[in-house]
Amino acid sequence: MSKKVLIVDDSALVRKQLSELIKGSGLDFEIETAKNGQEGVDKACATDYDVITMDINMPVMDGLTAVGEIMKKNPSAILMVSSLTSDNATSTMEALDLGAIDYVTKPGTMNIGKHENSEDIIEKLQALSRISKRRIKANRARRPIRRNEPENEISERPNRTERVSKSNEIVKPTTSSKDIKKIIFVGASTGGPGLIEQICSSLPADFPHAVCIVQHMPAQFTEAFAGRLNKSSKLNVHHTKHGMEICPGNIYLARGGSHMEFTKKVSGTIVVSENDNDKGRFFKPSVDETFLSGLKVFGGAKITSVLLTGIGDDGAEGMVAIREAGGFTMGESEDSCTVYGMPRVAFENGGVMEQLSFTQIVKKIVTIR
């Protein structure tokens, strides 16, 4: 049976480009279009589409409002179509918070070229079209609760030298990479942003370990995402940059467009070493590159690695290596994954010690001591 896709965009050219791209891909999709958000909402409420592509800036009703309306009235798999601008990056993050599952950049706008962008669009359309209504509703139900904080950029506050625990005991965490006893690595792709936000918001203020996160996104998007995470987390969330020291009790989000690797200086200090070389990886940042680099610098015994929902196999190689080196590895189970791709390959390759639902994974991370 053919799948149904709704393309919502005020640009006739983009509607034409996406339609031709889908037709030329060999996917058995019935294609319908809408020229603004209101028309998109009306059609989405009248018909069950397997996947909807949604522009952000449109007349009559913008994409964010449309996503909110559709998710209230007839929850559907929505793929945001965004330009690579800072404003659109922020809006795309808001759309994901409202229930959209993933995003792609408009045809021909990606830095790595039109061919790869087309492949990305088709791969994501195909993956999202397979997601059940039950999964979409479950994802919507577990959206994170936001803390009320000022809408500003990432805080540049220093690493905290003391925190108050729930028992009102003053906690003085270490602030040097030399004192890292354990480090948590997290990798995710499609369906990952909301989960990562829940992990960050669940960590207590006295969490003693460093957390390094790789989410497949371009640079403009990771910067906006890091800002959002910092507002919802009790810990400092940093958008990584070359030479940044990795300290206990802090969260580090890999900058888009560069692999997050690590270097141990002669002094013993461990810092981020950004690598702009593709290294043969489709994604940059790559989960595998971070996992493998982290293994060389920190050693397996200190590492807990987590692989969440996502298309493809990024992270599987690193998970196997970390497990073989004595690290602890967790993969998200199929029953909670938006897309059971990355953790599936890691599990099948023997890289997953415990395959758990996302809720169980969060509980495990929070209790690591």
d(CA 102, CA 94): 11
Q: Which residues contact 348 (CB under 8 A, 6 or more apart)?
A: none
- Measured at the CA of 180, the angle between CA 356 and CA 233, to 5 degrees, comes to 60
Ordered alpha helix ranges (H), the chain: 12-25, 37-46, 63-73, 86-98, 114-129, 133-141, 192-202, 219-232, 287-298, 316-324, 342-348, 358-366
| Residues annotated catalytic, as ranges | 189, 216, 314
Q: How many angstroms separate the CA atoms of 7 and 24, rounded?
A: 16
Rounded Cα–Cα distance for residues 141 and 99 (Å): 9
C-beta separation of 210 from 183 below 8 A: yes
